[in-house]
Structure 1
Amino acid sequence: MLRPIARLKVALNGGRRPGEHPALPCAPAELAVAAQAAVAAGAEAVHLHPRRAGGTESLDAADVGAAVAAVRAVCPATPIGVTTGLWVTGGDVATRSLAVGGWAELSRYDRPDFASVNVSEPGFTELVLMLTELGVAVEAGVWTVADAAALSIGATLPRVLVEIMSPETDPAAVLAALETAGVRGERLLHGEGASCWPMVALAGRLGLPTRIGLEDTLTGPSGEPVADNAELVRLALSVWSSAA
């Protein structure tokens, strides 16, 4: 069962290239250091994108297991999740399914507690079923009203990520569409880029959990530079609490 998030999940790295920020963690040891600091700052869950030795994103069991195990060693009580973004396999659904299926070889310790699956990507339903069989909880990534309306199996999912990628997207409309479609499960509201900090504040006003990290933004709420993920967590908790 996926533990609910009261206020905030940290997204450590996303698909950013190594070197985009001095504190961007890529290797397992770097992810462990960043996660430990972010959890100490108040993050209740960790989301990460595992990497190959060269720094590119990977869904392969060996890379996923190494990243998860490194973080679990320093954050044993914190739920750890990973991406399943189709871009990681160059848009190839079969390759993604093969890679995720390989997670069956991982021990429970090395396997992620949850994984994010984007509703708009081909193979969504099949991937959700595969992850469920693996004992990995699913967060459904919903970017638009159309995604919300398409979430036909939402009743079986513990969490829905309302991910506002563009200032033109109305978060209220997406949230309303989920209600209209009868989708159950926890809502987590967050943005990326220009939408990041406004969504943290809106989540606070609505009493919804949110997300922050170097995946979503490289700057603070006023555009100021930030040192690392832990600083973003502290700033986001302040914004969230002030808006509540």
Structure 2
Amino acid sequence: MTEPTGPVLVVIPTYDERDNLGPVVKRLHAAVPAADVLVVDDASPDGTGELADEMAAADPRIRVLHRAGKAGLGAAYLAGFATALQGEHQVVVEMDADGSHAPEDLPALLEALSDADVVLGSRYVEGGQVLNWPAHREWLSRGGNLYSRLALGVPIRDITGGYRVFRRQVLEELDLDEVASQGYCFQVDVAWRAVQAGFRVREVPITFAERERGSSKMSGAIVGEALWRVTRWGLAHRFHRLRRGDRAAAGQVNA
């Protein structure tokens, strides 16, 4: 594997993931031994935060950020990014705690940074796959990605996925304080901002597997938020382009 561009921090948000966190971090360190881990726990009732503290006490590569309560995936990642930028890490990774993101795929994502600023682990490019999802769940995901791609006019095939690698510069330059999205809409929001800012965004195939333990946090409210926000962003983007085109045309006429 090509060495990444600097120290790597893997941000793992947790809420009731006590059964999954230990095995995921163990696999992660088997795949990328030098990676540091930041567990961002939203006061999990099942004791995930306490387990994370025990893991951190036993391994200097692990840190824990405790938050007051469940505030959503987007807020957890933003808190993790802010913590990452306070240190010296040059590469920041998003990874789920439930085992759906295979740590064994991380070396390939890191290697792809050689010609990218943001690397998206993609289920829907050639070589990517989804395991153990019911058909309706996969079609909902594929449909949401297709709608987002068409509404926003971006070529990304898996813009809702949450397995990602960022160069530090991306998180420093994106105006993350303006990101208010939650759920997988947060992933759409950040990826779209990166594209608009001119960063190089690359997709790399991954194998996504449905969790074996615990329950999914996906809900109808999360899907509804995503559809509403993506539609609004897409319409605003098209309106902006039309106005810009009208101003350009007017300039040519006046000339």
Higher helix share: 2
For the pair shown, the structure with the greater C-alpha radius of gyration is 2
Q: What's the TM-score once normalised by structure 2's chain length?
A: 0.29
TM-score (norm 1): 0.30
